[in-house]
Copies of this chain bind each other. A is one copy, B any other.
Amino acid sequence: MLTYELKKSPGVPLYEALYRCIRADILSGNLKPGEKLPSKRALSQNLEVSKITVEGAYGQLLAEGYIRAQEKVGYFVEDIPQSVHVPVENPSAPVDPEASAELQSGGPEHFPFSVWSKLQREVMLDYGERLLLPMPNQGIRELRCAIAEHLAGFRGMHVSPENILIGAGTDFLYNLLIQLLGRDKIYAVEDPGYGKIRKIYSAGGVRCIGAPMDHCGVRPECLENADVLHISPSHHFPTGLVTPVQRRQELLSWAEGTERYIIEDDYDSEFRFDAHPMPTMQSLDRKGRVIYMNTFSKTLAPSIRISYMVLPTALMETYREKLGFYTCTVSSFEQYTLARFLSRGYFEKHINRMRKFYKQRRNRVVSALNGCAFANLLQIREEDAGLHFLLKVDTELSDEALTALCARAGIHLRTLSSYYRGEAPEEVRHHLVINYAGLREETLEQVLKNIEKTP
């Protein structure tokens, strides 16, 4: 039987301490692939903790792909490559929303105007003339430090402020990456996927190919010709897929020992509701192949243009040498304001409020769907993350007709199939992508009625 001394430490819930112990045993090989874990009841009795604590730990391990559940039999250790040591200390929550006009952020009513305004005034008074001096091209140090701390606390990432580069939006950062990694490289983007990313790479003058996906994420065997892979493993758009840890390892292996890079687009991990988000690929990366990217445009407001990326050290050096002449694109006023917003805990509070707000909205949307006259024809598919889910509709209509129907009801929805580069497979038909962040349930009900009326 597993036995651990679970120390209480401030800020770390007991279930998380347990989760970390078991994960460490899996990664070190103390728990072997295929090995059965004790039942929740047995383990809770053995460790003298509540069953809820064990459930929390197993739930997190399950969500991250370290273990699998077999119905009515129990939990089993997955086959995780041993070489990896995950340095995650306190996985918890941020991401890159702006990669998306479609992934519209929802409730601006929650933006803490008075706090932001107060911080702006403070910054003016405290920094004065220093605000007007040329700033470091990488972004001001205060903000990079605050982001590093934030990533440590919420995402379990250990990142030096020296490796962080601030920029006015991810669109801009993608373009910098093309210049950094090379225009002669082949960039692979998820297929299906968020169309704007493809557009940016194409406008940037590089060859961009589709990276086919299965139920675990991008398929490494299809990446033979690619040099750079752009993915959102924590929450794929539009399928909602969370790439399990094993596939993440396989993708890392694809990049390791080569000149290949993975751009990890962590665009909406803050909005995972019921469990901690999966640790980032950047945390798993030992060979400097992962570039982590995120933004504040989704979490704060789409009109605030502050994004950042974390470059591996060697790549950061190349950046300074080759592209260090670029002036930082974000005004120092906003950088200082955001630095204080982060370091004083306002961001954390804001995210918590938003998460709650979105969760309520999601639940209302789900209720509306469940309560409608033809609920039996609908099936919600979600992965407990982000601000959208898939709604499978049992209908004879084509996807085009379904979209047109929604549009007539005043709601612009897209189907999953429309996110495919080429023809979508049969099984993805009739899936509507529901961004509940910006969706009003009245509108949704109207759409449902319209669909109902249609033969």
List A residues at the B interface (Cβ < 8 Å).
98, 101, 104, 108-109, 111, 113, 116-117, 120-121, 124, 128-129, 131-135, 168-169, 171-172, 175, 179, 183, 196, 199-200, 203-205, 297, 300-306, 322-323, 325-334
Contact = CB atoms under 8 A, between A and B. Distances in A.
B98 A111 contact: no
A451 B333 CA distance: 41
Contacts of A328: 305
Nearest to A129: B108
B179 A172 contact: no
20 contacts: A104-B134, A117-B120, A132-B300, A132-B301, A132-B304, A133-B302, A134-B302, A168-B329, A168-B330, A169-B327, A175-B175, A196-B325, A199-B325, A200-B325, A203-B326, A305-B329, A305-B330, A306-B331, A329-B329, A331-B334
B132 A302 contact: yes
Given A131-B303, A179-B203, A203-B179, A121 B121 contact: yes
Nearest to A113: B124
Contacts of A297: 327
The residue among A98, A135, A303 with the most chain B CB atoms within 10 A of its own CB is: A303
Q: Which 8 A-B pairs have the closest CB atoms?
A: A108-B132, A303-B332, A132-B301, A168-B329, A168-B168, A134-B302, A108-B129, A183-B205
A132 B305 contact: no
Contacts of A101: 134, 325, 327
A117 B113 contact: no
B301 A131 contact: yes
A117 B304 CA distance: 18
B325 A303 contact: no
A305 B322 contact: no
A260 to B, nearest CB: 20
Contacts of A300: 132
A329 B134 contact: no
A326 B201 CA distance: 12
A224 B199 CA distance: 33
Given A132-B304, A200-B325, A305-B328, 6 more contacts: A101-B325, A117-B121, A131-B301, A132-B300, A199-B325, A200-B326
A117 B111 contact: no
Given A169-B327, A322-B203, A111 B124 contact: no
Contacts of A179: 203-205
A181 to B, nearest CB: 12
A72 B367 CA distance: 92
The residue among A168, A203, A331 with the most chain B CB atoms within 10 A of its own CB is: A331
A43 B28 CA distance: 96
A438 to B, nearest CB: 10
A321 to B, nearest CB: 12
Contact of A135 (B133, B303, B306, B326): B303
B108 A117 contact: no
Contacts of A205: 179, 183, 205
Contact of A132 (B111, B128, B204, B334): B111
A327 B305 contact: yes
A185 B254 CA distance: 36
Contacts of A120: 117, 120-121
Contacts of A199: 325
A104 B179 CA distance: 26
Contacts of A129: 108-109, 111
A172 B200 CA distance: 14
A435 to B, nearest CB: 13
A133 to B, nearest CB: 6
A112 to B, nearest CB: 11
A205 B183 CA distance: 8
